[in-house]
Amino acid sequence: MLWLDCPHCGRRPLDEFSFGGERRSVPDSITDADERDFDEVWVFENPDGLTTERWFHAAGCRRWLTVRRDTAIDQVVDVVP
């Protein structure tokens, strides 16, 4: 992965962005309050495939973007404006 299409700035080198982590929520199947806390703070889905995540355009418009990416091949699928 070398480039990211920023909806505000256009096609920019990946170096300009910082990775902000996967977008996720604790599954409803986890009901215990302590377990929900553990999951919320520490756990990663870490999928081998499609993931939705946040990227920050640090050296550009300084806005947060929501990006869908295929982690199996490390390619952006699309950027959700």
Partner 1 sequence: MAVVSEYTDTLLPIRWPDERRSSYDVVIVGGGGHGLSTAYHLATRQGITNVAVLEADYIASGNTGRNTTIIRANYGIPEAIRFYQHSLEMYQRLEDETGAAILHQTKGIVWLAHTEMAMRTERARCLMNTANGAQTFMRTPAELKELIPELDLTGGGRYPVLGGSHHVEGATARHDRVAWAYASGASQRGVDIFQHTPVTGLLRDGDRVVGVETADGPFAAGTVLSAVGGRVTEMTAHAGVRLPVRTHPLHAFVTNDYAQGFSPIVASTELMCYVSQTERGQMLIGAEFDAQPSYSRQSSFAALRSYSYKITRLLPFLRDLRILRTWAGICDISADFSPILGFTGVDGFLVTTGWGTWGFKAIPAGGEAMAELIATGRPPALIAPFALDRFRRDHVLADQGSAGTR
How far, in Å, CA of 36 to CA of 52, rounded? 21
Q: How far is the CB of 70 from partner 1 (least distance, A)?
A: 9
Among 19, 50, 63, 80, contact with partner 1 (rule: CB under 8 A): 19
Run of H or E residues at 63: none
Distance of alpha carbon 5 from alpha carbon 32, whole angstroms: 40
DSSP 24: -
53 residue type, one letter: E
Binds 57: which of partner 1, Zn ion, none (CB < 5-8 Å by kind): Zn ion
Contacting residues toward Zn ion, per CB under 5 A: 6, 8-9, 57, 60-61
Contacting residues toward partner 1, per CB under 8 A: 1-2, 14-15, 18-19, 22, 34, 38-39, 41-48, 51, 53, 69, 71-74
